[in-house]
Amino acid sequence: MKQSQLFTKTQKESPADEISKNAELLIKGGFIHKEMAGVYSFLPLGLRVINKIETIIREEMNQIGGVEMRTTAFQNKEVWEKSNRWDDEVVDVWFKTALKNGGEIGLSFTNEEAYANMLKQYIQSYKDLPMYPYDFKTIFRNETRSKSGIMRGREFYWKALYSFSKDNAEHAAFYEKAKEAYKKIFKRAGIGHLTYTTFASGGSFSKFSHEFQTVSGAGEDTIYVDEAKGIAINKEVYNDEVLADLGVDKANVVEQRAIEVGNIFSLGTKFSTPFNLTYKNETGDDVEVVMGSYGIGLGRLMGTIVEVLSDDKGIIWPESVAPFKVHMLALGESENVKEKANELYELLSKKNIEVLFDDRAGVMAGEKFADADLLGMPYRVVVSERSLKDGGYEIKKRTEDKGKIVTEQELLSMLEN
Ligand code: ATP
Ligand code: MG
């Protein structure tokens, strides 16, 4: 993409009303637009990041047997009354609206009821199970705290998978697979080294749930990390009994602030019971389905990447989620540079290397460099009179201070793998 065609612009000043680093950098870079507190639009660059994160999550969910669909945001009052979660006294984050012809509908703040209600129609016999449907979806929550930028929105985009298993053993086996898939997702997204599988409160059906907590000062949670064991315990369940239970020594843990980027939860029959979600087993008896839920907020994950992988100049995107692999800058107004830069842009595009081409005329080199640092593509390639005179193009990784001059062939072999 040519930057001259990108309608967004970077801004030098930090937004006055944002205290979180992720919102500040993402707004300055033109990745997102703030509509109001806790509500953001994703601009072309931001959408490219979300789409890449979505692809990673989709691949890993499909790998463990997930089957994708798309569920509606509108929620049926009668369905939610079955589990007693329609009442605002019970759930305080609902957005609801009155229908013109009477009655009320809600906007999804989560999916358990809708899935249990829908899947009931497709689960009759043991032969129908297990089942692992999931979807990407916009979720609405009337959150009171909205100081964490896109990490806590009133509207946010998530992936939720629900598992429907015949019994606890089948559920437990899938739960472990999902845990491994989650580790892969965060590793692929570039934050694996900072993200801990964390024991958290499990609700009424299991002792623990698992959160995936990324260590960051911007986090809202407190966790206790056992680095050697590679696990952590959320403060909400941290006590001597749990430590003993998990074989963790108090002397080996460090208290950290962390961001919950995802979580997995055993639901037991909490929703199967109110929805009468049963199947006939091999001897013809009715047995309740065992459910699990597996969520990831894509905006939360994107914001977390920005929080933990940036420097004083801007964002440092991991290649896997960067909007473009290469930010190519044409410097100066000479026709020769323009021609060579255009040729290189065509060549890289033909090789399917994603390039953002800063072809803007009348923009000084210093400004282009500053924008490249702010926007954070993994590679910066400079085409200038000087680079051409020195024998080619200058390539520099976002994480390096100095670049080097390479020939076209060298450039291609560096970028192609
Ligand atoms: P938190 O404890 O941070 O409020 P939660 O426990 O309510 O989160 P879930 O309902 O389990 O979260 O949602 C699953 C995932 O959705 C979370 O792990 C997180 O990644 C994401 N998420 C939750 N709330 C928000 C939000 N307001 N904005 C963006 N992402 C969110
Ligand atoms: Mg939570």
3-state SS assignment for residue 141: coil
Convert the pLDDT of each residue in 186-198 to its tens digit: 999 999 999 999 9
Take atom 10 of ligand 1 and give the residue whose Cα is closest: 110
Take atom 27 of ligand 1 and give the residue whose Cα is closest: 152
Instruction: Specify whether the backbone of 400 is left (phi greater than 0), alpha (psi in -120 to 50) or beta.
Output: beta
Residue 36 makes CB contacts below 8 A (sequence gap 6+) with: none
Which residue, among 151, 73, 146, has the nearest Cα to 109 in the 3D structure? 73
Ligand 1 centroid, distance to 109 Cα (angstroms): 10
Please identify, by atom number, the ligand 1 atom nearest to the C-alpha of residue 154. Answer: 27
First to last CA, the chain: 20
Task: Answer whether 152 contacts ligand 1 (Cβ < 6 A).
Answer: yes
Q: Which residues in 321-357 are b (16+ Cβ under 10 Å) and which e?
A: bbbbbbbbbbbeeeeebeebbeebbeebeeeebbbbb
| Residue 329 in tokens | 């800058």
**Whole-angstrom distance, CA of residue 308 vs CA of residue 289:** 40
pLDDT at 145: 78
Task: Answer whether 190 contacts ligand 1 (Cβ < 6 A).
Answer: no
Convert the pLDDT of each residue in 102-135 to its tens digit: 999 999 999 999 999 999 999 999 999 999 999 9
CA distances in angstroms from 56 to 84, 194, 248, 375, listed in the order given = 35, 18, 32, 21
Residue 246 has φ and ψ, to the nearest 5°, of -95, 0
Convert the pLDDT of each residue in 221-261 to its tens digit: 999 999 999 899 999 999 999 999 999 999 999 999 999 99
CB 76 within 8 A of CB 321: no
Take atom 3 of ligand 1 and give the residue whose Cα is closest: 260
Ligand 1 centroid, distance to 207 Cα (angstroms): 20
The closest ligand to the CA of 161 turns out to be: 1
Residue 357 pairs in a beta bridge with 2, 328
For the CA atoms of the chain, what is the radius of gyration?
Answer: 25
Take atom 20 of ligand 1 and give the residue whose Cα is closest: 297
pLDDT at 28: 98
For the chain, which ranges sit under pLDDT 70?
Answer: none
Single-letter amino acid code for the residue at 347? L
All structural domains of the chain: 3-311 (3.30.930.10), 326-416 (3.40.50.800)
The closest ligand to the CA of 264 turns out to be: 1
Ligand 2 centroid, distance to 301 Cα (angstroms): 14
CB 68 within 8 A of CB 61: yes
Ligand 2 centroid, distance to 324 Cα (angstroms): 32
Instruction: Let me know if 151 is exposed, middle or buried by CB neighbors in 10 A (0-12, 13-18, 19+).
Output: buried
Please identify, by atom number, the ligand 1 atom nearest to the C-alpha of residue 265. Answer: 11
